[in-house]
A and B are shown apart, each in its own frame.
Chain A
Amino acid sequence: QVQLVQSGSELKKPGASVKVSCKASGYTFTSYAMNWVRQAPGQGLEWMGWINTNTGNPTYAQGFTGRFVFSLDTSVSTAYLQISSLKAEDTAVYYCASQTTIDFDYWGQGTLVTVSS
């Protein structure tokens, strides 16, 4: 069965960087797009962008350029989200979500990133 397993919670200081991983299993990793979605505490879902798992080409949504980087290691079927120069407002749960059809049909369990001094 398809599974996306994300790395564990992170506590970081402002200005630091964090790298969240999302390991896929149960399907051919390079066949389907991988999206990233942010959910700030008590807030709604916000699409951050996606990465073409076949070509490695990332597309970033408005508001997620510059400090946010999507990457892949196809040898281990894993997608990564790196955030640099962390700010308090980056505190959120970050989800990866694969897209085998039109909807985001498989989601990781989410990774809580807390930015606090």
Chain B
Amino acid sequence: NFMLTQPHSVSESPGKTVTISCTGSSGSIASNYVQWYQQRPGSAPTTVIYEDNQRPSGVPDRFSGSIDSSSNSASLTISGLKTEDEADYYCQSYDSSNSWVFGGGTKLTVL
């Protein structure tokens, strides 16, 4: 089964830049779009990146997404970190059996 693997947690200081990776277990991660969701405690997820690198309206341009085919990974980069960015982040993509798959999630701590 297709899996997306994320680091369990990352931490960085306010104002710095952090990158969260999402590695596909098989096939080419570039074959299907990757989305990224932010989930704050007690709230439903919201989209911060869709179609690999597109930002929904209202998401600041501090958030960016990219694909690296050589490592079969997607990345979410957040620059100019703010304490409000502290949340869980999930990547999502589609597998060959027409199923959506979420990564295990990464807890971002801004300290």
User: How far apart are the CA atoms of A110 and B39 in the complex, in Å?
Assistant: 12
Smallest Cβ-Cβ distance to B97: which chain A residue: A62
A residues lining the B interface (CB < 8 Å)? 35, 37, 44-47, 50, 59, 61-62, 95, 97, 101-105, 107-110
- Determine if B100 and A44 form an interchain contact, defined as CB atoms under 8 angstroms apart: no
Within the complex, the shortest CB–CB distance from A29 to chain B, in Å, comes to: 19
- Determine if A47 and B100 form an interchain contact, defined as CB atoms under 8 angstroms apart: yes
Smallest Cβ-Cβ distance to A108: which chain B residue: B44
Residues of A within 8 A of B98 (CB): 59
Instruction: Say which residue of B33, B56, B88, B105 sits within 8 Å of A105 (CB atoms).
Output: B56
User: How far apart are the CA atoms of A110 and B50 in the complex, in Å?
Assistant: 22
Q: Could you name 12 residue pairs across A and B whose Cβ atoms are closer than 8 Å?
A: A35-B100, A44-B103, A45-B39, A47-B100, A47-B101, A61-B99, A62-B1, A97-B44, A101-B50, A102-B35, A105-B50, A109-B44
